[in-house]
């Protein structure tokens, strides 16, 4: 039985988007699963307006306090133990739920993960992962997308390893191809960082390293795990998301409905993925966009359920302990 | 009278694409202008097959040797003084032409520019610039896109300055907005490099600095000069170029011809721009894509003519000498 905690107060459109998203997710989750809405009980109940999905797939865990988007992450997390984010991490730490998601303060979610469930032993730096659509369908995982703007070569090499485990166990890719983002394909190209990381990845026996990948090849199904520093990954992810928005603003999807298969382009929509997992901590944590819609919240909860089912954090822990 | 030298032997589709592109450019250039095809005379004449644009707007400068795409840039440039690239730089250095373009070996073009016409005094590192389409029309200039994978903060600040001069004098933007690529909008975001560059750009009185720009805002007409290290710029440029290819492969342009205004998306096509200028050297130098088509070659020549008319390298020299 999978239980997913969702921060009902997190995101620009909470509680409407969060509660509606939770209802949608509850409908799609297998029976026995449950979404736990964490936040102010009266606010959540008001939004629910008496609605309940069948088979008790929704419950509420009261948290009287809220961390705002603008608050300082560390300060807010430590000084507001009754906030929805702190209470959610409490549920996760005690094993009352198998995953925790929020579209609220990203920094507070990151700090909360590090402070409450902590990094897995052997993890140098946990990463926030994003997803890049593949032209042949599905997504590649890209890490890091913002938690670590500056990294050392060994961190990039470890991103390749934990990203592989994620792709294998959550995205069900048998032997994930790992590549390093670079400005050329040749081994000696790039910065001192990428040159050193290239050598470490090449030698890493846990990783099916296929070499460098350039900006033009990110979506070309040449790679399943895209490795880069958080600065580069953040720029790539936001650029790709904007590409979807630009197509939508120009009514491309409407105009070509039924004429051209645009599923690949639809996969650039952040809502299709819903959330960015923190990889390398002792639990399943997902961070959503501040602007998350109900659809995005639903997909974040479903992704959380897949991560929980795969027990990806335990797989990573096991792999590192055997290293 | 503007004379543009074009490496007739450079690029995957030379001499066909280069000679055809030169003919197209010659047709569009004002009378009195001239495109000088640099390369093996017999090969060029063979491709021309007797064609000549009106008013003698095309000429040939024989260069018996060729630098191949795969050759080592420095070695090839110094050991092949009769190659089309070396001869082209000779014409430029002596003032026989006002610009030199090639879709050949990028490294050799870069080395050639540094060795033969040299960096302008005061330039820390010349940059290769690219162009990012703006949703409102036209392009922003982005630098660096690959010449300098690793840079110091003062280099980024200078990119802001020389990029501004380019945007003002070549793109005719009165007071160009300069922004720094970063993973967040706030001043303190990013790496040690971007944090330091932010402060230098803020203090630089030659620059209309508008702060950080994220991946999602690059095409949103918030900025005219996009400043970043060559690693980041290269990833952005290649990613953006691939967007165009992806749209074309899905027949989006064909399907929506006449129904939706897609000029903005067409501007992602590398052919629309044609070439990347090297900014900060004592002359007008442009580097084209290896895969350059005749259309790309044409637009590279026209861009070279605009740079030559604006005398952008002299404007930069003057600005730096007054600094």
Confidence class of residue A54 from pLDDT cuts 50, 70 and 90?
confident
Residue A23: pLDDT over 90: yes
- Average of per-residue pLDDT across B130-145: 96
The confidence band for B114, taking pLDDT boundaries of 50, 70 and 90, is: very high
B85: left (phi over 0), alpha (psi -120 to 50) or beta: alpha
C-beta of residue A225 within 8 angstroms of C-beta of residue A213: no
Name the residue among A219, A235, A252 with its Cβ closest to that of B232: A235
Q: What is the pLDDT of residue B52?
A: 83
Residue B323 pLDDT exceeds 80? no
Asked if residue A322 has pLDDT above 90, the reply is no
Interval B157-182: pLDDT, tens: 999 999 999 999 999 999 999 999 99
Which among B215, B219, B238 is the nearest to A235, CB-wise? B215
Contact B245 A149 (CB under 8 A): no
Give B219's contacts in chain A (Cβ within 8 Å): 242, 246
- The pLDDT of residue A179 is 98
Q: What one-character DSSP code corresponds to residue B72?
A: -
Using the predicted structure, report yes or no on whether residue A323 has a pLDDT greater than 80.
no
Minimum-distance CB partner of A235 among B236, B241, B261: B236
What is the tens place of the pLDDT at every residue in B235-276?
999 999 999 999 999 999 999 988 888 999 999 999 998 899
pLDDT of A183 > 80? The answer is yes
Provide the pLDDT confidence category of residue A126 given band limits of 50, 70 and 90. Answer: very high
In sequence order, what are the beta bridge partners of B132?
Answer: B140
SS (H, E, C) A215-245: HHHCCCCCCCEEECCHHHHHHHHHHHHHHHH
User: For chain B, what percent of residues have pLDDT higher than 90?
Assistant: 93
**Arithmetic mean of pLDDT, B315-323:** 92
- pLDDT grade for B322, boundaries at 50, 70 and 90: confident
List C-alpha distances in Å: B307 to B94, B101, B272.
18, 12, 16
Q: From chain A, which residues contact B within 8 Å (Cβ)?
A: 135, 146, 149-150, 181-183, 189-192, 194, 214-220, 230-232, 234-243, 245-246, 250-252, 255-256, 259-262, 264-265
Query: What pLDDT digit, counting tens, does each position of A190-242 carry?
Result: 999 999 999 999 999 999 999 999 999 999 999 999 999 999 999 999 999 99
* Contacting residues of B for A250, CB less than 8 Å apart: 260-262, 264-265
Domains of chain A: 1-120+280-310 (3.40.718.10), 124-276 (3.40.718.10)
Subunit contact A218:B243, Cβ cutoff 8 A:
no
Question: Which residues does A104 contact at the CB level (< 8 Å), separation at least 6?
Answer: A7, A9, A10, A11, A14, A67, A69, A84, A85, A290
The average confidence (pLDDT) of chain A is 95
Q: Which residues pair with B5 in a beta bridge?
A: B36, B100
pLDDT number for residue B53 = 79
Nearest residue of chain A to residue B258 (CA atoms) = A255
* pLDDT, tens digit, 9 for 90 and up, residues B56-99: 899 999 999 999 998 999 999 999 999 999 999 999 999 999 99
Going by C-alpha positions, the residue among A233, A237, A157, A165 that lies closest to residue A193 is: A157
Among candidates B219, B232, B245 on the partner chain, residue whose Cβ is nearest the Cβ of A232: B232
Give me the pLDDT at residue A1, please.
84
3-state secondary structure of A82: coil
Where do runs of H (alpha helix) occur along B81-189? 84-93, 106-112, 153-169
- Give the model confidence (pLDDT) of A273-304 as tens digits: 889 999 999 999 999 999 999 999 999 999 99
Phi-psi region of A49 (alpha: psi -120 to 50; beta: other; left: phi over 0): left
Mean pLDDT, range A31-43, rounded to an integer: 95
Q: What is the DSSP string of A146-162?
A: SS-SS--HHHHHHHHHH
Lowest-pLDDT range of B49-58, B83-92, B129-138: B49-58
Question: Could A252 and B237 be called an inter-chain contact, meaning their C-beta atoms sit closer than 8 Å?
Answer: no
Q: What's the gap in Å between the CA of B93 and the closest CA on chain A? A: 30
Side-chain half-sphere exposure of B279, counting CA atoms within 13 A? 33
Under an 8 A CB cutoff, do A231 and B191 touch?
Answer: yes
């Amino acid at each position: 039985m999978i239980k997913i905690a969702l921060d009902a107060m997190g995101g620009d459109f909470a509680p409407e988007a969060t509660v509606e998203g939770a209802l949608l997710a509850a409908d799609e989750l297998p029976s026995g699963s449950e979404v736990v809405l964490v936040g102010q009980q009266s606010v959540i109940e008001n939004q629910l307006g008496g609605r309940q999905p069948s088979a008790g797939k929704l419950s509420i865990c009261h948290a009287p306090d809220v961390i705002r988007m603008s608050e300082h992450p560390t300060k807010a997390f430590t000084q507001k133990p009754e906030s929805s984010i702190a209470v959610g991490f409490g549920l996760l730490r005690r094993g009352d739920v198998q995953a925790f998601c929020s579209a609220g303060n990203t920094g507070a979610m990151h700090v909360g993960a590090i402070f409450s469930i902590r990094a897995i032993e052997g993890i140098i730096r946990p990463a926030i992962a994003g997803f890049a659509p593949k032209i042949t369908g599905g997504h590649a995982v890209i890490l890091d997308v913002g938690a670590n703007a500056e990294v050392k070569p060994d961190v990039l090499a470890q991103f390749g390893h934990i990203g592989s485990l994620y792709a294998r166990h959550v995205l069900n890719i048998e032997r994930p191809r790992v590549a390093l983002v670079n400005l050329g394909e040749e081994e000696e190209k790039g910065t001192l960082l990428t040159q050193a990381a290239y050598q470490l990845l090449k030698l890493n026996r846990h990783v099916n390293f296929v070499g460098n990948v350039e900006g033009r090849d990110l979506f070309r199904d040449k790679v399943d795990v895209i490795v880069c520093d958080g600065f580069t990954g953040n720029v790539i992810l936001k650029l790709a998301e904007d590409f979807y928005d630009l197509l939508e603003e120009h009514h491309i999807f409407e105009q070509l409905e039924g004429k051209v298969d645009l599923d690949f382009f639809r996969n650039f929509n952040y809502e299709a993925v819903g959330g960015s997992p923190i990889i390398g901590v002792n639990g399943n944590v997902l961070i959503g966009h501040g602007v998350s819609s109900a659809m995005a919240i639903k997909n974040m909860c479903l992704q959380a359920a897949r991560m929980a089912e795969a027990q990806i954090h335990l797989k990573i822990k096991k792999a590192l302990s055997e290293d």
